[in-house]
Structure 1
């Protein structure tokens, strides 16, 4: 099973692209991207969390790190800033959607 390790946000015109970095127990790594139909970062993360959790092969998003992509950072310090509030929002939406998927599978 895969878990969400990091989430990167990047503005694409009036929308936000959300790229989720997934890792598994064997050291595998893959990225899933979704373009959210909104310019609001919180809503874009909720949209991506529902999409990723709905795929069914991602087991958790604990301790997920949310950052803006490098090209969105204006200074080197911005690259290091983590969006803790957005990370909590992503994790809550992910867990809620994952629970809905599990309930439907029973």
Structure 2
């Protein structure tokens, strides 16, 4: 009888070999003469993952673009729409600074991400 109960249960969902991720937030931190960019990714199964890259520049705009190319080049990151760009807590001077989003950097990240993603997709065809 125990075997029938087990058979009646729904089969577990198969483990997916790959998941599509989206960029949720981007954090910037100064590391000496360079900028570290940490991208917080979320997948379609509510999984979380952080990818970081240290850009070879101290210009935040170029660092964000460098990170966008790096992340989009991974191949399994599908979108960066509505990604928020902020400086990390260590870089902020007041509590209000922690809440401030840099909309210009968000636009730069989004544009560079979409350009690189389009290039990757073209290359795959």
TM-score (structure 2 length as normaliser): 0.84
Q: Paired residues, what number?
A: 106
1:23 aligns to 2:42 (yes or no): yes
Looking at both structures, which has the greater relative contact order when contacts are Cα pairs under 8 Å and sequence separation is at least 6? 1
Moved over 6 A (4+): none
C-alpha deviations, 1:53-100, integer Å up to 9, x for none?
A: 001010000001000000000000100000001001000000000000
| Aligned-residue offset at 1:25 | 1.3
Q: Distance in 1 between matches of 2:22 and 2:110?
A: 11
Partner residue, 1:75: 94
Structure 1 gap segments, 5+ residues each: none
Which structure is higher in strand share? 1
Structure 2 gap segments, 5+ residues each: 1-19
Q: Distance in 2 between matches of 1:83 and 1:28?
A: 26
TM-score (structure 1 length as normaliser): 0.99
Partner residue, 2:16: none
Structure exhibiting the larger radius of gyration computed from Cα positions: 2
- Equivalent of residue 91 in structure 1, options 110, 113, 122: 110
Q: Distance in 2 between matches of 1:76 and 1:32?
A: 25
